[in-house]
Chains A and B, each alone.
Chain A
Amino acid sequence: MNYFVSFCLCVPALLVTALASADDAQFAQRRAEMVALIEDDVRRTAQYTGLGRFDKRVMDVMADVPRHRFVPVDRADAAYENRPLPIGYGQTISQPYIVALMTELLGVTEGDVVLEIGTGSGYQAAVLAALVSRVYSIEIIEPLQRQAGLRLADLGYHNVTTRLADGYYGWAEHAPFDAIAVTAAASHVPPPLIAQLRPGGRMVIPVGGRFTVQQLLLIEKNADGSLVTRQVLPVRFVPLTGEH
């Protein structure tokens, strides 16, 4: 009898797992296509971003993180299209190309500790989590922070810690950070964040509208604490005709 009950319980579970695997396989295929698309974009923008190709680790992670789990359920089909999507509360999940570009510009390595300002759906944090030792992520919209925290834990990104707080002050207890990703530009770069950046560290901030990134601001802190900022245009575009 017990065997029978177990069997009865197992069949639906197995069915669900099988369906989920089929689903995952389908998404994995689309993820691979998305990565191919990004690689193509990278090649085409190489001359302007100064990046001939993205780090293989970054692209591998992009091919691995299930983006469809970070978008609203009714948007899952569009998750692997190379475009930003709304996630509620007037916020968006960035375009995959921009996520990859930001991650690449941060230049993170395995032992790094990274701070993210603006968790959103948690996708950027998940991408970073697979590349570094620890990610601290701050969100100011309470429901987004709660959902992202649960989602990241559910997906096994245990090296990400989120909290509901004012990103302006960074996260002093865990500072300094090797890299800081700010997912939406404010009117200015918060001085506490610059203070919490380790010498040799990098900060990246996308500037522009919610659905269109105009430029990426890359701030590098030299060993002596001085700052260099680079303004990276994410697009292969020279404003004068006849120049390439």
Chain B
Amino acid sequence: MALVSAAAIGYEVLLMRLLSIIHWHHFAYMVISLALLGYGVSGTFVALARRRLQKRFAGSYMVSALAFCIAMPVCFLVAQRIPFNALQLVWEPGQLLFLSALYLLFFVPFFFAATCIGLALTRFSEIAGRIYAFDLVGAGCGALLVIAALFVMAPQNGLRLLAACALLAALMMVTEVTRTRSQLVFTGAAAAALSALLLTLPGHWLSLRLSPFKGLSQTLAVVDTQLLGEYSNPLGQLSVVASPTIPFRYAPGLSLNATHGPPEQLAVFTDGDGLSVVTRYDGALEPLNYLGATTAAAPYHLLHSPRVLILGAGGGQDVLQARYHGASHIDAVELNPLMIDLLTGPYAEFAGRLYDAKDTRVHVGEARAFIANSTEHYDLIHMALLDSAAAASAGVQALSESYIYTIEAIDAYLERLAPGGILAITRWLKLPPRDSLKLFATAIEALRRSAVHEPGRRLILLRGWNTTTLLVGNRDFTAAELDRLREFCRARSFDVVYVPGMRNDEANRYNLLDRAYFSHGAMQLLQRRDEFIERYKFHIAPASDDSPYFFHFFKWRALPELLAMREQGGAALIEWGYLIVLATLLQALVAGGLLILLPLTITGRTVFGRTGLRMSGYFFALGLAFLFLEIAFIQKLVLFLGHPLYAVTVVLSGFLVFAGLGSGLVSARLAKRPPDARALTVKPAVSAILFLCVAYLLTLPGILPLMIGWPEPVKVALALILIAPLAFCMGMPFPLGLARVQAWARDFVPWAWGVNGFASVLSAALATLLAIEFGFTVLMAAGAALYFLASLMLPR
């Protein structure tokens, strides 16, 4: 049972990885959310076929587990053949058919996995709580297992591992199913054959077929390109490509006045897209002249031999830029250790041992965590183009939380600046302006919170034709600095968007727009911020740690206008990320209603009436609330733990395991004492949940920042200690409710399961929408309120 749950959640995590590589991360999110409906639908199926299935419980369980085992790789193989192109959805509604086919395909394995669980729950309904506990603990371990596996194997090979788990689960039923020795031998031989097949499945069958529209696919279509190596870990798959005949020349934001491009480069693609480069460096600075001709070079013209902190060092372009400009010391922070391994290992010579230089220190870590732990002060903190141009232009990152562009983040960076220091952030230019103005508004807010009365005196914004660079000083910029900045821009034909004391005629000089949108926006943000943010057709209000959706620019008001002008260029302006979450929610609502609830209703396998409705409300509220709290809590701890992947894994696994233990405790107590419906109260558990939520909401924002500098293992332990009581209590209401249902009307169990599954599917998308609109605090409060509501609904 635990093996099936482990494989199911493992498959979910693995699919997220695989689909992110083949397609894009946001579509992976949508496909998987919908595929999880398989869980709910299976509940309905088990309810409808219960009597027949229970007669042959062991056989049905074994067949389901085997089907799950086979479906995992097979569905993935078939899905790779479906020519879905996410980028064409806007033009070609027919792509929806392919998308639906993907939903259906991935629905299958989850359906079989859930059927195993549903079968066990109905067969052993008297110990449902215990089964639920194994389900949760297994799921928690499954998430950990897959993340660990992704460190040592290519993601596609993870399919073999998970299929083996499911096969093992099926084999555990062998002794129940087989009655004679020959049957046992036959089953054993069949299992051995299946295992052999899994292990020997040709590698090229499983090899990933990337969308032809991803950067890596397009690059490999160019003559003489050569894939030098592929490196994978749970953070992503890095592909290193050389192109000797038609060299890479990655120099974003390069001035049109530049006479030279970059020297030889190797391309590094993350998940088949998101290009970064490793530039050949032999110690000579002259080939790096191009690095002085980008907007990101601006701060170096205001500082002399600065101590530099580079956040998001990637392939080392920014480190080279710092070196080119005579930085006296460089600290470079990179999230993905694989990237650093590339530059200190196989490509170290090519990169001129850039990361081994004595004035350079490289740190693996997340930007905010590094800043929080650091005690050093820097003359320049530099962040440039951390997301790919493709992702930025597609507007699909709205779903991604980012703690590096929030008000609190800017505040934290400014605190680490030495006197006279500068924070410099370079981003892709979007038209009409979005990122740059949102960042400008964020910096204004951060400065205001630090009691800077005239933030405008500490801000500079400039733009080329495809990048913008924001400079934030920790003191007012001097007249001499502004003169140097103006000269820097003039020599490179960059436009000054905002400098303190700027004249109107300084704006929009070189890269002409029909109006000075950028300068106008910056001035308005300084003078009439709230009114401007309200009137602007994109969402440019600053992001905060509580709602860290910097990439969320969507406003409902602009949608009809943009959709109407879709064919006249409007399609590029639609921010799809938000719409994808909404589409996921609506699809889940319709599909869940049709596939889970309707069949149960029309076959009369439910009991309505006042009690039935209250029971339904109870399980629905629990389905929503569990994920609300889980997601809010994970996000509250992501920043604290400092590494999104490990944080999510640890917190998610912890949540599931402790919830499983809570459920197990309920089950054990119920087993000791025959269920008396009246004695089964959820009030203590719900009261504890409410108490813990309120306590955490009130204390964590104050306490966690104080402990953020503690060693990682201690922080993980602390996070688990915080999670344990909450998750433990959250594991109780479901089995308690189920026991109440058992005592009241056994036929209601599948319906309760179905309603809960339905709510869980809705919950993931709904939680994201709530967090985007109102923040995690509200999400947590909503989760707690739902638990309270549930406790009121459970009939006495």
B-contacting residues of A (Cβ < 8 Å)? 37, 41, 44-45, 48, 50, 82-84, 86, 88-91, 95, 97-98, 140-142, 164, 166, 168, 185-191, 194, 207-215, 217, 219, 227-242
B215-223, B579-587, B616-624: which one contacts chain A? B215-223
The yes or no answer to B394 lying at the interface (CB within 8 A) is yes
Chain B residues numbered 612-662 whose CB sits less than 8 Å from any CB in chain A: none
B243-251, B307-315, B367-375: which one contacts chain A? B243-251
- B562 to chain A: closest residue by CB: A237
The yes or no answer to B201 lying at the interface (CB within 8 A) is no
**CB contact under 8 A between A219 and B256, given known A187-B250, A210-B213, A231-B431:** yes
**CB contact under 8 A between A208 and B572, given known A217-B465, A233-B514, A237-B562:** yes
Complex contacts, A212 vs chain B, CB 8 Å: 87, 90, 393-394, 571-572
C-alpha spacing A145/B466, complex, angstroms: 28
Q: Do A210 and B87 touch across chains, with their CB atoms under 8 A apart?
A: yes
Q: Do B535 and A240 touch across chains, with their CB atoms under 8 A apart?
A: yes
How far in angstroms is the closest Cβ of chain B from A185? 7
Q: Do B569 and A211 touch across chains, with their CB atoms under 8 A apart?
A: no
The yes or no answer to B253 lying at the interface (CB within 8 A) is yes
The yes or no answer to B25 lying at the interface (CB within 8 A) is no
Q: Do A235 and B510 touch across chains, with their CB atoms under 8 A apart?
A: no
**CB contact under 8 A between A142 and B223, given known A229-B511, A241-B557, A242-B535:** yes
| A-B contact list, 22 entries, CB within 8 Å | A83-B92, A90-B211, A90-B218, A140-B222, A140-B246, A168-B247, A188-B466, A191-B260, A211-B571, A212-B571, A214-B430, A214-B572, A215-B431, A227-B257, A228-B512, A229-B511, A230-B512, A233-B513, A237-B562, A237-B565, A239-B433, A240-B537
Binary CB contact string for chain B from 483 to 516 against chain A (1 if under 8 A, 0 otherwise): 0000000000100000000000000001111100
- B88 to chain A: closest residue by CB: A211
Q: Do B537 and A241 touch across chains, with their CB atoms under 8 A apart?
A: yes
Complex contacts, B263 vs chain A, CB 8 Å: none
C-alpha spacing A54/B629, complex, angstroms: 57
A-B contact count (CB 8 A): 173
Q: Do A234 and B512 touch across chains, with their CB atoms under 8 A apart?
A: no
- A169 to chain B: closest residue by CB: B246
A-contacting residues of B (Cβ < 8 Å)? 85, 87-88, 90-92, 211-214, 217-218, 221-223, 245-247, 249-254, 256-261, 389-390, 393-394, 430-433, 465-466, 493, 510-514, 517, 521, 532, 535-538, 557, 561-562, 565, 567-573
Complex contacts, B390 vs chain A, CB 8 Å: 209
Q: Do B222 and A141 touch across chains, with their CB atoms under 8 A apart?
A: yes
C-alpha spacing A86/B88, complex, angstroms: 9
Prevailing SS type, chain B contact patch = loop
Complex contacts, B561 vs chain A, CB 8 Å: 237
Complex contacts, A185 vs chain B, CB 8 Å: 466
Complex contacts, B222 vs chain A, CB 8 Å: 140-141
Q: Do B261 and A190 touch across chains, with their CB atoms under 8 A apart?
A: yes
How far in angstroms is the closest Cβ of chain B from A162? 15
- B431 to chain A: closest residue by CB: A215
- A229 to chain B: closest residue by CB: B511
Point out which of A89, A97, A191, A238 has the most chain B C-beta atoms below 10 A from its C-beta: A191
How far in angstroms is the closest Cβ of chain B from A91? 8
Complex contacts, B393 vs chain A, CB 8 Å: 207-209, 212, 214
Q: Do A235 and B223 touch across chains, with their CB atoms under 8 A apart?
A: no
**CB contact under 8 A between A236 and B568, given known A48-B514, A189-B256:** yes
Complex contacts, A50 vs chain B, CB 8 Å: 514
Complex contacts, A229 vs chain B, CB 8 Å: 256, 465, 493, 510-512
How far in angstroms is the closest Cβ of chain A from B493? 7
C-alpha spacing A210/B90, complex, angstroms: 12
Point out which of A86, A141, A142 has the most chain B C-beta atoms below 10 A from its C-beta: A86
Complex contacts, B217 vs chain A, CB 8 Å: 90
**CB contact under 8 A between A166 and B245, given known A140-B222, A242-B535:** yes
C-alpha spacing A239/B431, complex, angstroms: 9
C-alpha spacing A83/B567, complex, angstroms: 7
How far in angstroms is the closest Cβ of chain A from B773? 20
